[in-house]
Amino acid sequence: MAHPIQATQAQDTTTVARLTGSLTVLNAPDLRIGLLEAIKTNKPKVLALNLAGVDFVDSSALGVFVEARRQMTASDGSVTFTNVNDDIRGLMRIMNLESVFDFVDDEGEVLGSAE
């Protein structure tokens, strides 16, 4: 199974994690380790999760996102999602996560605000 984090990029106070594939119980542990390591290593103010390459998210992955948010808010940071498809955005809306996370249409928007 491919790793769910295709790449990370740190720029100023923003770290972008480009996620890929289906984010499920099968790869949630790798996703968790990767995101928490990126937070620990880069100490960003914004963790941007680019979901352009993601086709499915289950509750295990949503739990990892909530845990990453908890880590970020402990240091006055935030989590922003980019490039979220309509199905995943709808799931997040149903789970009332739109009030917890920030969303932008494109990764460039979050990187542009870091300058």
pLDDT band at 1 (very low <50, low <70, confident <90, very high): low
Q: What is the pLDDT of residues 40-97, one digit of tens each?
A: 999 999 999 999 999 999 999 999 999 999 999 999 999 999 999 999 999 999 999 9
Radius of gyration of the chain (CA): 13
pLDDT of residue 114: 55
| Buried residues in 60-88 as b, exposed as e (16+ CB within 10 A) | bbbebbeebbeebeeeebebbbbbbeeeb
Q: Which CATH class is domain 5-112?
A: alpha beta
pLDDT of residue 111: 86
CA distance 65 to 49: 9
- The pTM (predicted TM-score) of the whole model is 0.93
